[in-house]
A and B are shown apart, each in its own frame.
Chain A
Amino acid sequence: MSLTNTVTAEDLIRISGVDPSKCMQCGKCSGACPSYDEMEYHPHQFVAMVRKGQIEKLMASDAIYQCLSCFACLERCPRNVEPAKLIEAVRVAVIRQQGMNHMTANDIPEKLDEKLPQQAIVSAMRKYSK
């Protein structure tokens, strides 16, 4: 999607409220991440790549949908960088663009099972679409 290149590091910093320059690249976030093996880019890479302006790669990566929003990275970061917020900012920057919803109401019926709580559907819609 060509629109992705209009998102800048400054946009992500503004949306997330994260200051990536505080990061000392210790990797504790990625050491704590329970979804590490699923993610193409890892929490510390999100911070480093936003700092370097490599936004397109992040926006194109499935890693933004693999983050569990469990806040382990954010809780354990010794420098209060809050990588989870940055990952969400990238995801938000993607789904806010036209036609970029990762999930639509049409996708839901096939994913339903009888025990699935409402909250799962609402939160998935909130997380993956605009």
Chain B
Amino acid sequence: MWLFDEIVKFHITELEGQVNHMKYSYYPGCTLKTKAKELDRYGRLSAAKLGAELEEIENWQCCGAVYPQAEDEIATKLSAVRTLDAAKQKDQELVTLCSACHHVLKRVNDDMKNNEYVRTRANNYLKLDVPYEGETSVIHYLEMLRDRIGFDTLKAAVVNPLKGVKIAAYYGCLLLRPSGVMAFDDPENPTIIEDFIKAIGATPIKYSQRNECCGGYIAMEDKGAAQKRVDVILSSAKNAGADLIITACPLCMYNLDANATESVLPVKYFTELLADALGVKEED
């Protein structure tokens, strides 16, 4: 019998370990340190309030900004691998906030796990003590809210529900596609941000363009093309009755804000609303 008890005890402690495992490696990325400080600051404040500790990876480097799709691009993926390996060293899940960083880190991680060509060459370059093979789990802040903390817990923690605010979620491309790798939500009918909006007490507004591209990548190259995309998205959200649009992506934020011509809607980072609802927005 004693053996049985020991086993049960062991499992309980292990289980408790999992429940309390609320420490994450955190990768902010360049933009969150400069133009998107609010995204970062409110994200950290809210996480702390919800009991999740975000430990910023030391000496982090650029994620690469854009995922190189070419099969033979290795060097441009290396800095992302360093970040992933840093999280592996701490045995923590890696949380990201910026959609672009998340996209790059998740896809490079997938390459390191499943693409032998990339894995071998990247490890040959990096010469790590132990080769990195995609061990780190990369999750977006929203996934942390949904899958680790839980929207119910979040709802219970809300002190300042945003009642009556009609919010349109803007997903963009980078969080959802390609769904095979990102595995974030149904790429054509996502619900995670709408569920988040409900959790903070506001009303989600569903509109057709929420998962269509805003043209952020082309904003520098061809402003006119980006403006066209932004107008399509904003008018779709506005016609559906939204007061406000939220996003997780600094590039989308910039684009929806700076390149709107016909329709204009206020654009905010989702973390700002989160901090507001949790009553931590004014803390600093």
Contact = CB atoms under 8 A, between A and B. Distances in A.
Contact of B217 (A68, A74, A113, A118): A68
Interface residues of A, number: 37
B31 interface: yes
A23 B70 CA distance: 19
Contacts of A120: 216-217, 219-220, 251, 254
Contacts of B35: 115-118
Interface string A7-36: 000000011110000000000000000110
Nearest to B255: A120
B213 A117 contact: no
A72 interface: yes
Contact of B173 (A38, A70, A89, A92): A70
B68 to A, nearest CB: 7
Given A71-B177, A117-B31, A126 B213 contact: no
A123 interface: yes
A35 to B, nearest CB: 7
A109 B203 CA distance: 41
Chain A interface, >50% SS class: helix
B258 A35 contact: no
Interface string B243-274: 00000001101100110000000000000000
A17 B71 contact: yes
A113 B218 CA distance: 15
A71 B219 contact: no
A19 B57 CA distance: 39
B189 interface: no
Contacts of B178: 71, 74-75
Contacts of B218: 35, 65-66, 68
Contacts of B232: 34
A70 B175 CA distance: 10
Nearest to B67: A69
Given A66-B218, A88-B69, A119 B29 contact: yes
A126 B258 CA distance: 22
B246 to A, nearest CB: 17
B65 interface: yes
Contacts of A38: 222, 225
Interface of B: 29-31, 34-36, 62, 64-66, 68-73, 76, 98, 100-101, 173, 176-179, 187, 212-213, 215-222, 225, 229, 232, 250-251, 253-254, 257-258
Return the 7 tightest CB-CB contacts between A and B, nearest first.
A70-B213, A71-B177, A122-B65, A123-B66, A70-B173, A123-B65, A17-B71
Interface of A: 14-17, 34-35, 38, 65-66, 68-72, 74-75, 84-85, 88-89, 92, 103, 111, 113, 115-124, 126-128
